[in-house]
Structure 1
Amino acid sequence: MVLENQKITLLEKTIFERVKFKPPLRAIESMEDEACLIYSMQGRSELYAAEHTDGLSSDTSVLMKCGSFINSWQVTEQADPYEAIAIHFYPDVIQLIFEDQIPEYLQKPVGDGSRVFQKIEKNEILKSYIGSLLIYFNHPELFTPDTVALKLKELIALLYQLNSNGIREILSDLFNPYQVGFKSVIKEHIFHQLTLEEYATLLNMSVSSFKRKFKELYGIAPGQYMQTKRLERAAQLLSTSSARVTEVCFDCGFGDISNFSKAFARKYGLPPSAYQNQHLT
C-alpha cells in the first residue's frame, strides 16, 4: 500500500520520485525509451528482468536500462514503512540538460547490450547524493528546472565515476532494449512466483500471445508445464535433502503450501512429508 508519493518533473515527465509504502508491494514497469535508478532507503525486494534476477536491501540500488521489470517488495520483521527513491532518465531530458553536448560515454555503446540492470551495493558517495535529494523533497519549492537538471547531471557523472564496468555498459546503452529469448525467460523464472501476466510483461507480449507462443514451443499450456517442472524439482529436493516442506514449496515457485501438497500428492501418491521420509530413511 502506497502511503506517500512525491514527484518532481521536467518537460512534464517525472524525474525524481520518492515513495513510502507498506509491503508487500509488486511494481511492474514497462519502460519504453526510459531508464531508471532505484535506491532502496528502507526495505527489501526481488527484482526480476527477462533473463536476470537480483535482490535489493536498504541502501542498495539498481540502474536499469529500458525494458520490462518486476520489483517485488517483500514483508520483513521491521515495522517501519519502506521507502525508495526513483530517478528516471529520458532521451529528450538528457539532450536538454547537456544542451546537446552529450558526453561520449552516454552515446558510444560498451559491451553487447545484454546487461539490462546493474545492482550497486552500499556506496557512501551515492548515499550522500540521495541525502542531498531528500533536502529538496522536504523543501520542494527549491526544485526549480535548473536544479532538476543540475542534480540529474550530477547523478550521471557520479555513476560514471563509480568505475564499474556494468554501470558504464548500461550508461552507454540506456535506451536500446535488449532482445530476449522466449525460452531463456522461462528457464530463468520457472521457479519464481510470477503470474502469466508478469511473464508476458517481461517478454513485451500480451497474455494471449504469450500463451499461444508457449503452446507452440512446449506443446502444452504454460500452467501445466510450470507445475510439472516445479513438482519434479520439489521431488528431487525432498528426496535428497532434509529441507522443510514449506521451504521446498516456496523454493520451487509455489505460493501456497496447501495447493502444493495436494498437487504433489496427486502426482506422486504421497504427501510431501511422507515422500521425504520414505526417501531419506
Structure 2
Amino acid sequence: MVAGKEHIMSKSSHRVTLTHDSAILLTPGETLHSDYFSASGALKAWLVFFSPTILEHLPQGQPGKKEHNTLPAFIPLSHSALLAPFFDNLEAYHYRNLLNDGMLHAKATELLLLINSLSPVPLHQLLDSLTGSAGFNTRFKRLIEDSDYLSLSVADLARLCNMPNTSFARKFKATYSITPKQWLLDKRLIYAKTQLLLKNRSVTDIATDIGYADPSHFIKLFKSKFGVTPHQYKSSGEKKRFC
C-alpha cells in the first residue's frame, strides 16, 4: 500500500486493514471485498499476480519457516517497507520505457524472491495449494458445471484451474484415470450426439459449438467413436421420430 487506507474482507469474513507501507500476500482462490479511504482522496497500491509457472521455480525451503496445514486468507509480510524501493524503481523504468520482456521477467523473479524472504509462510505452499487434490477438484468441478468448457482446449482448462499444463495433465490423470484430452473429446462427442437429434441443429453448427472449426475433423472423430457419421446418426434419429 503506497497511499490511503484499504479495508479488505475475505470470503470467510476475515478482515484486514492496509495502510502506508503495509503489504499482504493473498491465498490463491480467495475472494475479496474491499473499501478504501484516504485523506487525500486517492488510493495507491500495487497488486501483483503470479502465475503457477513462475511459482514452480521457488526454492523448496527456507531456514526457520514453518509449514502450515491450512493457509490463512491473508499472509502479512514482515518489513514490508522494503518493497517500496522495488516498486519505485519499477515505476521509474516504466516511465523511461526501459521495460521489455526480459526486464519484466527478471523483476518478477526479484519480487518473488523478496516476498519469499518477507513471508512467514513458505511460498512453495501456495503452489501446493493450487495443485493439491482438494483444490484441484473444487476448481475443476466449478469449471465443468458450465457447458461452455466444451469449446476450450486442454491448455485453456489448465489456465482456468491456475495450473501449468504438465501439472494439470498429471493431476487430472491421477484423479480421473483418463487424460484430459481424451476426457474432453468424449464429453464433446456425447454432447454432439444429443444435439444432432435436435431438428434445427446442423452438423457444422454443432462442430463449431464444441471447438471444431473444421467440420470434416469433427465428422472423422464422431465416426471413429460411434461407427457412423454425424449425418447418418442425425438421419437415423429423424427416421425414428417419424415412424
The structure with more helix, counted as a fraction of residues: 2
Greater Rg by CA:
2
TM-score using structure 2 length: 0.46
- Greater RCO (CA < 8 Å, at least 6 residues apart): 1
